[in-house]
Structure 1
């Protein structure tokens, strides 16, 4: 329980600070804890995905509200990204509900590595110029981010923030704020799907509704929501460079762990 509380606090803070949902942190920890109590890996991974999204939704709503109050949410792009992300989240969660655990773990690792190296290799733009993009471009990127959100139990912000900032040239604070609004929509699509596809699943941990485990949900949420407010305040007061690099290091470790590299090399971590 302590591990989950600490995880929730860290996820909430990084969510508010960097505009990411925190699924890359929550999913592996939940997965390993569930397998330790005897839940089969295929079920444990889907429970981790679903519960992660259920934690991300209220955390993202709180973070988006905080950024909106500071003028850092682009409303129209957020709505277009969010609606397309919701449908993408449904498709991603449907895919994850029937894909093999090996494939899902490997894809999770690949996306985590890609996001980490992307964050290393590009400098965030601080341009204050207003950018104009077509609805179709927002819809496409929203669907991509939403699909990854539902497929891997992540908010999608770790993909969406670089897209908004690097490709669509949003200033970094507006990229983070708009990403938080997108995450709320995208995670909702995945949650609905995991609730439906998990109704008749067997071997679930106690106190589960569909693939969402209430015990883990409460433990993670109780610390993530208040810490998201702290992260929002820090995002508008402090440079996030050092924390971003710590996050990148953690992403790389989690990616290699989920891909089974350490186990393949017989390394004890």
Structure 2
């Protein structure tokens, strides 16, 4: 693969990731992971090492992208700070444990888990009964702590921000409207990505077969290219998100989840 093609693909991916992050309240890992994995294996990186680098680098890109998106959502009053803090603190711990676990799991299993998780979350959103628009979100810190840890563990294990789980949880179980679920999820992703980043750096420090410019399982070249495009595009996604009806926002979210999930388990 030519180096220029490699760069262009990463820049296009980063642009799409930033837009999706602001629009849907997700970190964009479910977009970045497959692209990075296929690029890395195309240049000869071992698949198990490639999937771990894809996970770790995705989390490193997610952090500044989520910060950009969260600021935009906060300006529109779509971030509920108390739930975000409870879920975020628990999410850091969960993401760190998930990231360490991923360093010891075969790459094929990680890919299948990633695809299965995305499809399960998409199906859940299809069959679930949603609360009425305008209903007040549920209270109680323990629920937010539990789900924050669970989403954080998935984030660390699979190199995602956790929004792909948090948005359905907040909408279906906690009674959030779609816009506030997206905004609050963006804030929680800041925390989960930090825990995962630390775990992937530590877990990959002594790994062999890493491509150039890697720090643990995080590749700096891919990080710079992806983040450089995704950070400004997150603000564009935020603006579009708040112009869309909540029902339409859910349909877009579900369609993208189905596609990525099927791609990662090898159906597409």
**Does the alignment reach a TM-score above 0.5?**
yes
C-alpha separation in 2, matches of 1:120 and 1:35: 34
Which residue of 141, 161, 171 corresponds with 1:165? 171
Whole-angstrom CA distance in 1 between matches of 2:11 and 2:81: 32
Residue pairs, 1:55-74, within 5 angstroms: 55-74=61-80
Deviation >6 Å, runs of 4+: none
Equivalent in 205, 212, 218 of residue 199 of structure 1 = 205
1:219 & 1:244 partners in 2: Cα distance? 29
Question: Which residue of structure 1 lines up, in the alignment, with residue 3 of structure 2?
Answer: none
Match of 2:139 among 133, 142, 152: 133
CA RMSD between the two structures: 1.7
- 1:133 Cα offset (Å): 2.0
Match of 1:98 among 88, 98, 104: 104
**Which ranges of structure 1 fall in alignment gaps of 5 or more residues?**
263-269
Partner of 2:16: 10
8 Å contact kept, 1:125–1:172: no
> Which 10-residue stretch deviates more, 252-261 or 97-106?
252-261
Structure 2: gaps (5+ residues): 1-6
Aligned counterpart, 1:142: 148
Deviation, structure 1 residue 236: 1.2
Instruction: Write the distance in 1 (CA, Å) between the matches of 2:9 and 2:132.
Output: 36
Tell me by how many angstroms 1:144 deviates. Answer: 0.5
Deviations 1:8-47 (A, max 9, x none): 1111111111111111110011000000000000100000
Give the stretch that moved more between structures: 94-103 or 121-130.
Answer: 121-130
Separation in 2, partners of 1:75, 1:245: 26
Q: CA deviation at 1:151?
A: 0.5
Residues matched between the structures, number: 262
Secondary structure of 1:98 counterpart: coil
Q: Is the alpha carbon distance of 1:17 and 1:257 closer, same or farther for their aligned partners in structure 2, counting shifts above 3 Å? A: closer
What SS class does the counterpart of residue 44 from structure 2 fall into? coil
Distance 2:23 2:13 in 1: 15
Counterpart residue number, 1:251: 257
SS in 2 for 1:72: coil
| TM-score, normalising length: structure 2 | 0.92
Aligned equivalents of 1:7 and 1:125: distance in 2?
34
Q: Say if 2:178 and 2:249, in contact at 8 Å, map to a contact too.
A: no
Listed one character per residue, the Cα deviations across residues 170-197 of structure 1 (whole Å, up to 9, x for unaligned) are 1221111110010010011000111111
The partner residue of 1:41 within 47, 61, 65 is 47
Question: Given that residues 89 and 186 in structure 1 are in contact (C-alpha distance below 8 angstroms), is that contact kept between their aligned partners in structure 2?
Answer: yes
